[in-house]
Structure 1
């Protein structure tokens, strides 16, 4: 029942982390990608997780509750991203980071 919520959370978290890596490594004299990853502290990881969770929208959560208690939820509009869209987005960000991605 919660696959859509988990997928949405993972998409938000991965997109945010990759965007941070791109911003940091694109700066003149900025860290390498390896140095960026080494510089991630538990505080930053927890903060990113909190921000990613806050981006999970109400309609995704309603989708889960609709299966459990349909009488309380009536406005589920479906999940906003397909697996293909998320995969494409992550692959594009990986290319910007010069990661070797297996298709």
Structure 2
């Protein structure tokens, strides 16, 4: 009987850093994370991604129950997939997911796992782990044959769409209000009453909290305000 073949690949994302002399006001972000992606040859089982961050409880996830995230959240100081994290993912997530997939499809639980990093995995019945030779990931690893590239393109596309959406939601009233605050002489004495940006932020904060409550997430207005103010602080590693 044909075994179920899976490919698993680590992909590290790091923020783009520019030299200070190129952009004096630019503060390089030292944040980074690693994604562990995997799926089978039949394309019917996409494993839940594992995201490894350098912080166990980053500011953006304050108050969020990690088990409710759409990824497996892990952390270590360097934000890397270590051997222990890989083995934990293998035992507690990979095996149960694949076993359930095989049961749902009524196929034997016989699996070949292709891994591009020689992590230590305890032998498990019906799962054969094949480690790719050094420097062959780009050639032999299935996830590197277009899956990761497509993922990054979609990720970037969504980030661009969200950026454009948020920018387009900034109204003329908000723009005029901030300019009036800085250069009141441009508007004269007879000016309309502009809606305070703080009012808009408050309205959207309340909307976010309401949505979070509907999704059963523990998010408060304080958490949102804390996140909005975070950009004013010095970035750390």
Unaligned runs of 5+ in 2: 1-67, 72-150, 222-237
The whole-number CA distance in structure 1 between the counterparts of 2:177 and 2:200 is: 15
Residue 69 in structure 1 maps to residue 186 in structure 2: no
Contact kept? 1:62, 1:75, Cα under 8 Å: no
The whole-number CA distance in structure 2 between the counterparts of 1:60 and 1:78 is: 7
Instruction: Map Cα deviations across residues 11-32 of structure 1 (whole Å, 9 max, x no partner).
Output: xxxxxxxxxxxxxxxxxxxxx9
5 Å matches for 1:1-103? 34=70, 41-73=155-187, 74-79=191-196, 81=199, 84-102=202-220
Higher helix share: 1
Q: Which residue of structure 2 aligns with residue 7 of structure 1?
A: none
Structure 1 residue 70 displacement after superposition: 1.4
Corresponding residue SS for 1:34: coil
Higher strand share: 2
Contact kept? 1:60, 1:79, Cα under 8 Å: yes
Structure 1 residue 55 displacement after superposition: 1.0
Contact kept? 1:60, 1:78, Cα under 8 Å: yes
Instruction: Map Cα deviations across residues 20-54 of structure 1 (whole Å, 9 max, x no partner).
Output: xxxxxxxxxxxx9616xxx8712101211111111
Corresponding residue SS for 2:70: helix
Q: Normalization by structure 1: what TM-score? A: 0.50
The whole-number CA distance in structure 2 between the counterparts of 1:59 and 1:42 is: 30
Q: Which has the higher contact order (CA 8 A, sep 6+)?
A: 1
Unaligned runs of 5+ in 1: 1-31
Check 1:87–1:68 CA distance in 2 against 1; reply closer, same or farther (3 A cut).
closer
Q: Normalization by structure 2: what TM-score? A: 0.25
Structure 1 residue 63 displacement after superposition: 1.1
Across the aligned residues of Structure 1 and Structure 2, the Cα RMSD in angstroms comes to 3.0
Q: Which has the larger radius of gyration?
A: 2
